[in-house]
Amino acid sequence: MDIVVLVKQVPDSGLERNLNADKRVDRDGSNNVMGELDEYAVEAALQLKEKHDGSVTVLTIGPDQATETIRKVLAMGVDKAVHVSDEAIAGSDALGTSSILAAALKRQDWDLVIAGAESTDSGMGVMPHMLSAHTGAAALTGARSLEVDGQTVTVEHQRANGYSKLEAQLPAIVSVWDTINTPRYPSLKGIMAAKRKPIESLSLEDLGVEAGTVGEAGATNEVLSVEARPERSAGTIVTDEGEGGRALAEFLVNEKFI
């Protein structure tokens, strides 16, 4: 089974993150890491390969620095990488991003695409659906479990109050939540092996994608304004003068926690 895993390099969500003057994520001034949910997608792909054989390819779109993320994924055990990088991609909206990813997917054989349920920078969660529209493959999203039996892929789609069981025929596109597995750490042997694994670098021209249809030039929507998140307030302090339990319960009821 040939699997492509989508990975995006994003600013570390554990640290201060900012937008630049163009209202885009400031990647130069940030500590950039692999999208946190993408690690679970990589792990899911590796586990399927261990069970069913085949290959795992990581596909990313991003500037040169995204190579650091690619190396980490290769060190985890992924076989090879495709890195799409082109100055004309800067400012792409989700539609542009999906058409570039779809063009890259068209160049290779795959049975399954696995992605994180959403990226941890813009968190739109739309890429699997858009790729489904481009490729005709079913999108089974928000998985907390994933199994492949012959040509059938089955996932448990996580919901707020339970899960739904979804099934489709391969080829398919699956996105996963962090409930699906525990990602492995790259081993020293994996880190050494990663240095010899192939990374294919592609431009828009290589993919046959017109520069004017993606990037800022081709974007169909624009961020008009951004505002800093308001400072956190001090919160509600419940002083216990014999009625603390009741006050606490009332607070939780008002906030709809209970």
Ligand X SMILES: Cc1cc2nc3c(=O)[nH]c(=O)nc-3n(C[C@H](O)[C@H](O)[C@@H](O)COP(=O)(O)OP(=O)(O)OC[C@H]3O[C@@H](n4cnc5c(N)ncnc54)[C@H](O)[C@@H]3O)c2cc1C
What is the DSSP-derived secondary structure letter of residue 186?
Answer: P
Question: Residue 78, class by beta-carbon neighbours within 10 Å (0-12 exposed, 13-18 middle, 19+ buried)?
Answer: buried
Smallest distance from ligand X to CB 232, Å? 21
Smallest distance from ligand X to CB 207, Å? 13
The CA angle 33-35-38, to the nearest 5 degrees, is 130
* Helix or strand run (H / E) with residue 192: helix 188-194
Strand partners, 4: 57, 113
Which residues, other chains included, contact 195 with Cβ-Cβ below 8 Å and sequence gap of 6+?
Answer: 71
Judged by beta carbon, residue 82 or residue 153, the one nearer ligand X is 82
Strand partners, 32: 11
Judged by beta carbon, residue 58 or residue 75, the one nearer ligand X is 58
Judged by beta carbon, residue 217 or residue 253, the one nearer ligand X is 217
Q: Would you state the structure tokens that stand for residue 160, as one six-digit string? A: 């707020």
Smallest distance from ligand X to CB 134, Å? 13
Judged by beta carbon, residue 13 or residue 151, the one nearer ligand X is 13
Please report, as ranges, the residues that interact with ligand X according to CB under 6 A.
Answer: 6-8, 19, 24-25, 35, 38, 41, 59-62, 92-95, 97, 115-116, 118-119, 121-127, 221, 223
Count the Cβ atoms, other than its own, within 10 Å of residue 34. Answer: 26
Phi, psi of 156 (to 5 degrees): -100, 115
Smallest distance from ligand X to CB 117, Å? 7
Nearest-10 crossing angle of helices 127-135, 94-106:
50
Judged by beta carbon, residue 54 or residue 123, the one nearer ligand X is 123
Smallest distance from ligand X to CB 239, Å? 41
